[in-house]
Amino acid sequence: MTDGNQSKLTALRDRRLDLLAQAAGVEIEIAMEMGDRPAACEAQVRMFAEIAARRALRGLALEGGQ
C-alpha cells in the first residue's frame, strides 16, 4: 500500500472512531434523560474505549506504522 493510501486509510479509521465515540456520547445523554444510569455508564465505557482506540491509532500514525 502506498503512503497516500495508508494515510487515507488512517484518516478514515480515525473518523470512524470519532463518530463511534460521538454516538456513545449521545447514548449517554439518552440514558440519562430516561433515568437509566447503568446504561449511561455502559455507554460511557464504550465512549472511553473509542477515544482510547483513536488515540492509539493516532500514536501509530505519528510513528509511521500501522
Per-residue pLDDT of the chain (66 residues; tens, 9 = 90+): 677 788 899 999 999 999 999 999 999 999 999 999 999 999 999 999 999 999 999 887 666 554
Cell 440519562 identifies what position?
32
Q: Residue 61 and residue 46: Cα distance in Å, rounded?
A: 22
pLDDT for res 66: 46
Grid coordinates representing 64?
509511521
Domain boundaries, the chain: 3-63
Residue 59 CA to residue 24 CA, distance in Å, equals 22
| The three grid cell numbers given for residue 9, joined into one nine-digit string | 486509510
Amino acid at site 18? D
